[in-house]
């Protein structure tokens, strides 16, 4: 293993009866908070009323920013930062999916900067300070509640980029599985595969060797996800299924499984272009890309075959194959069946009304100046070929 420093400072309150702990966490930073949420799911499920009552009873002054979009826009972040600056707010509470939590993190940083948040996202200006961030995820997906990243979209420029900085990692996150009961079957599937893909491409299919501990943990988590994503779709109010998914989501990017590894995603780089150009749901884009990326690599470079074959045996419970390539093909087929039959996700870009018109620009952006140097290196021609396979 490489040398590493492990640190994750987010305090996690997990379970059904943790809301009473929210005021004391917020009050440690001040008595004014900006509540950031999306298109109304938190009101429909009754969570908004409960949170407002809890905060108000504790004497916390609550400001609000509603309407955060899936794939949150930098313009919404700027609007939130302005509210914070004008009212001397000390902390930001994001309640919702990864989009609301990401927006909250970016608001927390932008509130301490006079210009446009896009300067911070692009690295034109450093994040020098940030308000305190608190998160209450209402779906199991991105892991934003325990990581230091925020993914923000600039729709006018067809750009979607990450802001990553220790200052925006949530101080405390509140993970109540019952808050995820109302997530639709479609979003459960998309969020569920997002979690799987975080483990697979950041921590599992990597060039790094000698990480038996992390890889064993990841295989166990992946098997858990393969069991519980369909169960949560089948029985949305299953506390057992929802709690396993929610905790797995946080583990994916909380730094434990990546300790010492070089994180180098491939499909995430390609997917962010789909969201940037077509506002596609993140987990759906990944589900379309992932099996095609595996097929492309296997065709180009058979050294991946054994890893892919092992994955099918250890995660999907396939029989061992005598030939690594056969095993790899069977693994990819098992993944396709899981995604497109068991979870019911679309399998092509064509089914999402996406054609090849923007592939050149998307591949250029995905690769940047240095290409994608993940599990296997990809250049623009590789990326375009994978996009074409998805049509
Ligand atoms: O807006 P509302 O009404 O809340 O509805 C949302 C939204 O329409 C709905 N939803 C959330 N919780 C619900 C619910 N509906 C019913 N009941 C509930 N309990 O779900 C829809 C999608 O929400 P969104 O926040 O967009 O989903 P997700 O959590 O998948 O977040 C996706 C965003 O996170 C970024 C993605 O790129 C995308 O922008 N990512 C962030 C990462 C990070 N911070 O580390 C890493 C990821 O790889 C990812 O890139
Ligand atoms: Zn993701």
What are phi and psi for residue 95, nearest 5 degrees? Answer: -120, 120
Question: Which residues in the chain belong to E strands, given as ranges?
Answer: 11-14, 32-36, 61-65, 91-96, 132-137, 149-154, 159-164, 172-175, 372-373, 377-378
Residue 210's pLDDT is 80
**Which residue's structure tokens are 């200052």?**
167
Give the C-alpha separation, 170 to 137, whole Å.
11
Using the atom order of ligand 1, give the atom closest to the CA of residue 42: 4
Do residues 98 and 142 lie in contact, with contact meaning Cβ atoms separated by under 8 Å? Answer: yes
Model confidence at 263: pLDDT above 80: no
For 122-130, the CB contacts below 8 A with 24+ separation are 122/161, 127/163, 127/165, 127/167, 127/168, 129/167, 130/105, 130/165, 130/167, 130/168
Residue 252's pLDDT is 94
Give the C-alpha separation, 337 to 356, whole Å.
25
Ligand 1 interacting residues, C-beta cut-off 6 A = 38-41, 45, 70-71, 96-100, 102, 138-139, 141-144, 147, 149-151, 179-180, 182-183, 187, 191, 194, 253, 268, 275, 282-283
Stretch 225-254: mean pLDDT: 97
Residue 206's pLDDT is 86
Model confidence at 87: pLDDT above 80: yes
Residue 10's pLDDT is 98
Stretch 98-104: mean pLDDT: 98
Stretch 125-152: mean pLDDT: 98
- Ion ligand 2: residue ranges with CB closer than 5 A: 194
Greater confidence (302 vs 22) lies with 22
Residue 371's pLDDT is 96
Residue 274's pLDDT is 97
Stretch 200-207: mean pLDDT: 89
Residue 262's pLDDT is 78
Residue 211's pLDDT is 87
- To test ligand 1's pocket by mutation, which of 44, 68, 95, 96 has the most ligand atoms within 8 angstroms of CB? 96
Residue 260's pLDDT is 85
With vertex at residue 125, the alpha carbon angle to CA 120 and CA 131, rounded to the nearest 5 degrees, is 55
Model confidence at 209: pLDDT above 80: no
For 369-373, the CB contacts below 8 A with 24+ separation are 372/264, 372/266, 372/269, 372/270, 373/264
Average pLDDT of the chain is: 96
Model confidence at 261: pLDDT above 90: no
26-30, 78-82, 253-257, 345-349, range with the lowest pLDDT: 253-257
Q: Report residue 151 as tokens.
A: 């993914």
Give the C-alpha separation, 101 to 81, whole Å.
14
**Which residue's structure tokens are 């900006």?**
34
Residue 203's pLDDT is 84
Stretch 352-380: mean pLDDT: 96
Residue 264's pLDDT is 79
With vertex at residue 71, the alpha carbon angle to CA 68 and CA 75, rounded to the nearest 5 degrees, is 55
Stretch 166-175: mean pLDDT: 98
Residue 167's pLDDT is 98
Model confidence at 149: pLDDT above 90: yes
Q: Name the 3-class secondary structure at 52.
A: helix
Residue 95's pLDDT is 98
Greater confidence (81 vs 263) lies with 81
Of the candidates 151, 161, 33, the residue with the CA atom closest to the CA atom of residue 93: 33
CB atoms within 10 A of CB 62: 15
Stretch 74-88: mean pLDDT: 98
pTM for the model stands at 0.97
Using the atom order of ligand 1, give the atom closest to the CA of residue 68: 1
**Which residue's structure tokens are 């620009």?**
361
- To test ligand 1's pocket by mutation, which of 67, 282, 286, 290 has the most ligand atoms within 8 angstroms of CB? 282
Do residues 207 and 262 lie in contact, with contact meaning Cβ atoms separated by under 8 Å? Answer: yes
In sequence order, the β-bridge partners of residue 13 are 174
Q: Is 371 exposed, middle or buried (0-12, 13-18, 19+ CB in 10 A)?
A: middle
Residue 306's pLDDT is 96
Give the model confidence (pLDDT) of 278-300 as tens digits. Answer: 999 999 999 999 999 999 999 99
Model confidence at 207: pLDDT above 90: no
């Amino acid at each position: 293993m490489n040398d590493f420093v492990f640190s994750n400072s987010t305090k996690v309150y997990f379970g059904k009866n943790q809301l009473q702990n929210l005021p004391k966490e917020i009050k440690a930073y001040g008595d004014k908070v900006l509540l950031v949420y999306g298109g109304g799911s938190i009101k429909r499920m009754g969570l908004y009323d409960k949170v407002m009552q809890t905060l108000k009873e504790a004497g916390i002054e609550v400001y609000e920013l509603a309407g955060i979009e899936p794939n949150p826009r930098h313009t919404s972040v700027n609007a939130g930062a302005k509210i914070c600056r004008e009212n001397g707010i000390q902390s930001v509470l994001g309640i919702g999916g990864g989009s609301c939590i990401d927006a909250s993190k970016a608001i927390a940083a932008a509130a301490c900067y006079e210009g446009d948040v896009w300067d911070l996202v692009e690295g034109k200006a450093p994040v020098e300070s940030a308000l305190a961030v608190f998160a209450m995820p209402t779906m199991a997906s991105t892991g934003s509640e325990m990581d230091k990243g925020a993914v923000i979209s600039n729709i006018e420029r067809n750009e979607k980029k990450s802001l990553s900085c220790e200052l925006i990692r949530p101080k405390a996150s509140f993970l109540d599985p019952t808050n995820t009961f109302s997530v639709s079957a479609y979003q459960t599937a998309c969020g569920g595969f997002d979690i799987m893909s975080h483990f697979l491409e950041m921590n599992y299919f990597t060039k790094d060797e000698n990480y038996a501990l992390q890889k064993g943990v990841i295989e166990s988590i992946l098997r858990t996800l393969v069991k519980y994503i369909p169960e949560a779709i089948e029985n949305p109010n299953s506390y057992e299924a929802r709690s396993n998914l929610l905790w797995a989501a946080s583990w994916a990017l909380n730094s434990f499984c990546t300790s010492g590894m070089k994180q180098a995603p491939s499909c995430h780089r390609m997917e962010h272009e789909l969201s940037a150009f077509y506002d596609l749901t993140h987990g759906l884009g990944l589900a379309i890309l992932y099996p095609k990326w595996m097929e492309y690599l296997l065709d180009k470079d058979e050294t991946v075959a054994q890893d892919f074959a092992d994955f099918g045996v250890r995660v999907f419970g396939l029989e061992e194959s005598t030939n690594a390539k056969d095993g790899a093909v069977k693994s990819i087929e098992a993944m396709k069946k899981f995604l497109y039959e068991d979870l019911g996700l679309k399998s092509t870009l064509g089914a999402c009304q996406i054609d090849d018109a923007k592939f050149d620009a998307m591949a250029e952006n995905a690769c940047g100046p240095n290409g994608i140097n993940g599990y296997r290196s990809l250049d623009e021609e590789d990326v375009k070929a994978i996009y074409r396979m998805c049509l």
